[in-house]
Amino acid sequence: MGLLLFLMLATQSSPARAIVGLVEGTQSLFVRLGSMFTAIGRFFVSLFSWEPLEEEEAGDGEAAGGEDHDETDDEADDGPAVVSQTAPPLKKVPAKAGSSAPVASPDPDTLPMESGITTPARKAKVPRKAVATGGTSPASTEPLVTESGVGKPSVPGEKPADKQSVVINVGPGNSGDESAAPVDSEPVPGDGDAMISAGGTVPPAGGPVIIELESPQPATLHPVSSFTDEWGEFRLPDPELLHYEPQKTVARDREHMLSLAARLEQAFLDYKIKGSVQEIHVGPVITMYEFVPEAGIRVSRIESLAKDLALSLAATRVRIVAPIPGKSAVGIEVPNESPQMVFLKEIVADPSFAQSKSKLSMAMGKDIKGRAVVADLAKAPHLLIAGTTGSGKSVGVNAMILSILFRASPRDVRMILIDPKMVEFSIYNDIPHLLLPVVTDPQQANLALQWAVREMERRYQMLSDMSVRDLGDYNQKVEDIRKRGIEDVPEHLPFIVIVIDEFADLMMVAAKEVETSVARIAQKARAVGIHLITATQRPSTDVITGLIKSNFPTRIAFMVASRIDSKVILDQMGAEALLGNGDMLWSNRGLAPTRVHGAYISTSEVQAVVEHLRAQGKPSYDMSIVVSAEEGSSGFDDEPYDVKWEEAVDIVARDRVASISYIQRRLKIGYNRAARMVERMEHEGIVSAPNGTNQREVLIPQR
């Protein structure tokens, strides 16, 4: 009030004019103070700068210009800038009116905000995101996939820059000579960097990487194996018996896949789940989008959105793999509009199958990346399969059987096929690999499983006598004995594969006996070469009990009806979202399930292979397998007369050799039949019991 009264008396004016004069004086004072502090600041900056200051102070006008330049520089620091290793060359331009020296840096008023150019007195900052001149932010652009595979944000009207340099536009003020200066663009890692990879792929920040399926190559067939043993010559089936139709390479619409990736990100964003699609894997039947969520998002939230994502993407079924094993990402599997068919012939011709040393290799199909999948039943060692009607389960089981028949002779593998439905395996009757005609009666199937348990115990005793641990070592030792020329050679033991098509029917007839037999075989039979393949349409807990499931570490789930069925067979959900027609989840010995597209095999192909095998020789059936223990316990006198009994006794009396394998070779009969003859000879006093070297003495005179 005192200052106001003094001004009124000094100027002899009204109070209003005095107030206006006071405000104007104060404003002028602050402006001069600001100019003074700016000049002081510029002096200290130039004093401690790494580069010599090329400009001189030029009074109040120069200080005011420096203030404007500093404000512009601050705004450029807050916004995006262009990565550069060296500052652009400077060009002197005339100074503003009122200044006494030329300015060495471009006029800030003529530079765009996005250019990121700083004054020579300051070092250029490393930007967080590189943005092309024109004001378009990376978030508002869509990833572009070029022919070379390099992706970058597309800006309307912008010419593509060279991949090794970044062009910096310094604005219309310098359009005379050096309007653009190329600078090396070494990628600088940082949060949210938008860089272009040099390997020809689209970076995650610029768009997802699309990994295309390789073009299918024609199946390369390998020579067919043939060999001769005591049974005669046997020739394995020729892969030419199978059908193969080269798949037409379907041109994938890359823009469509990128559009689906954007819709997928938006669908997650609608449910408040932020993240981005980083990779797109194109397979023969499905395409998997790898989605990386932001930190702090629960995986269970993503898993519960399968049906919502299918609705957003207009897909029939969507399966979510959360998380992908070995990656910090979630897999979204979307069916292809034009799925490709997988033929058994191309898997059989693949080196992973053709060069496998195992006699029990099985051609499963292809994974989601188009690679052949081959499983070894000997390592499995048993297989539990479930799938509803139309899922491709029966075709898959037939493909597994044919895979074994393509690699093994009857000397290597014998089979027992159990088919309660009487239509699936009847086509395999009379092939030389069978121990029995195809079993269709559930009671006989139960007896066959009980025989397998007894055979398992007998084989363990034989391995113990030979001091070996598994079937491979046993057969190798037998072969060494044969090469040394010893006459009494122990028998060669083949693998025994038991295939059950509908396990639920057996459980309905004799649940307790079947469960006990299957559990015992699954627990112990691996070492002696007996393996189970069990399939069912109804994977409920009363069919696949806890005792059975715990002894089947390898499981395959085709499409099932509900999540509960998927949990029964795989202990997790996912099989209910499969597509059918051979689409399966393969859990190999407790590992995370792998999605496999099963190989297709037609009835005509099966018939062609079976006819080839029938031409190689007749089967040697052992019908004693389906004889119950009660029927066989009444003694040898109650057995039906064997027409070759007298001939067997004559051979033993004449040659003075009483081994099972010798009688088997001389009479060309099955092992079990020859073993019962030798046991009967021991019972009737024709030969002695085996001694310590497992040899028998002939007790009757020589004929």
Set out the domains of the chain in order of their start, with CATH numbers: 2-137 (no CATH), 226-245+340-614 (3.40.50.300), 254-335 (3.30.980.40), 634-683 (1.10.10.10)
- Quickly count helices (H) and strands (E) in the chain: 19, 18
What is the three-class DSSP state of 289? strand
Q: Please tell me the predicted confidence (pLDDT) of residue 16.
A: 64
Asked whether the beta carbons of 51 and 105 are under 8 A apart, the reply is: no
Asked whether the beta carbons of 583 and 591 are under 8 A apart, the reply is: no
Asked whether the beta carbons of 565 and 386 are under 8 A apart, the reply is: yes
Tokens of 609: 């292979």
Q: Please tell me the predicted confidence (pLDDT) of residue 14.
A: 64
Spatial separation of the C-alpha atoms in residues 241 and 611, rounded to whole Å: 10
Cβ neighbours around 408 below 10 Å, total: 21
Give the C-alpha distances (Å, rounded to integers) separating 35 from 41, 99, 108, 322, 691: 10, 14, 18, 61, 117
Q: Which of 475, 487, 480, 416 is nearest to 449 (CA)?
A: 416
Spatial separation of the C-alpha atoms in residues 509 and 532, rounded to whole Å: 19
Cβ neighbours around 550 below 10 Å, total: 11
Cβ neighbours around 674 below 10 Å, total: 23
Tokens of 635: 């003694």
Asked whether the beta carbons of 551 and 519 are under 8 A apart, the reply is: yes
Spatial separation of the C-alpha atoms in residues 411 and 104, rounded to whole Å: 92
Q: Please tell me the predicted confidence (pLDDT) of residue 469.
A: 92
Spatial separation of the C-alpha atoms in residues 559 and 386, rounded to whole Å: 8
194-199: long-range contacts at Cβ-Cβ below 8 A with a sequence spacing of 24 or more?
194/129, 194/130, 194/138, 194/153, 195/130, 196/150, 196/151, 196/152, 196/163, 197/150, 198/163
Tokens of 99: 């200044």
Average pLDDT, the chain: 75
CA 392, chain centre distance (Å):
20
Spatial separation of the C-alpha atoms in residues 185 and 191, rounded to whole Å: 17
Spatial separation of the C-alpha atoms in residues 428 and 435, rounded to whole Å: 12
Q: Note the helical H segments in 380-535.
A: 393-405, 442-466, 471-483, 503-524
Q: What are the tens digits of pLDDT across the range 278-337?
A: 999 888 889 999 999 999 999 989 988 988 999 988 888 899 998 888 888 999 999 988
With vertex at residue 95, the alpha carbon angle to CA 89 and CA 97, rounded to the nearest 5 degrees, is 160
Task: State the residue for tokens 């000094």.
Answer: 10
Tokens of 92: 């002197």
Q: Please tell me the predicted confidence (pLDDT) of residue 112.
A: 43
Q: Please tell me the predicted confidence (pLDDT) of residue 400.
A: 96
Spatial separation of the C-alpha atoms in residues 237 and 410, rounded to whole Å: 13
Q: What are the tens digits of pLDDT across the range 407-454?
A: 999 999 999 999 998 889 999 999 999 999 999 998 899 999 999 999
In the DSSP assignment, the letter for residue 109 is G
Q: Please tell me the predicted confidence (pLDDT) of residue 4.
A: 55
Spatial separation of the C-alpha atoms in residues 675 and 680, rounded to whole Å: 9
Q: Which of 267, 328, 269 is nearest to 295 (CA)?
A: 328
Tokens of 393: 């389960």
- DSSP output for 427-442: GGTT-TTBSSSPB--H
Give the C-alpha distances (Å, rounded to integers) separating 128 from 187, 196, 366: 11, 14, 42
Q: Please tell me the predicted confidence (pLDDT) of residue 223.
A: 53
Cβ neighbours around 542 below 10 Å, total: 10
Half-sphere exposure of 155 (CA within 13 A, CB side): 15
Asked whether the beta carbons of 205 and 195 are under 8 A apart, the reply is: yes
Q: Please tell me the predicted confidence (pLDDT) of residue 667.
A: 87
CA 268, chain centre distance (Å):
23
Q: Please tell me the predicted confidence (pLDDT) of residue 176.
A: 39
Q: What are phi and psi of 594, to 5 degrees?
A: -110, 130
Give the C-alpha distances (Å, rounded to integers) separating 395 from 263, 296, 477: 36, 44, 38
Low-confidence residues in the chain, pLDDT < 70: 1-18, 20, 45, 47-206, 213-232, 247-252, 487, 628-641, 692-694
Spatial separation of the C-alpha atoms in residues 527 and 462, rounded to whole Å: 12
328 CB-near residues (< 8 Å, 6+ apart):
292
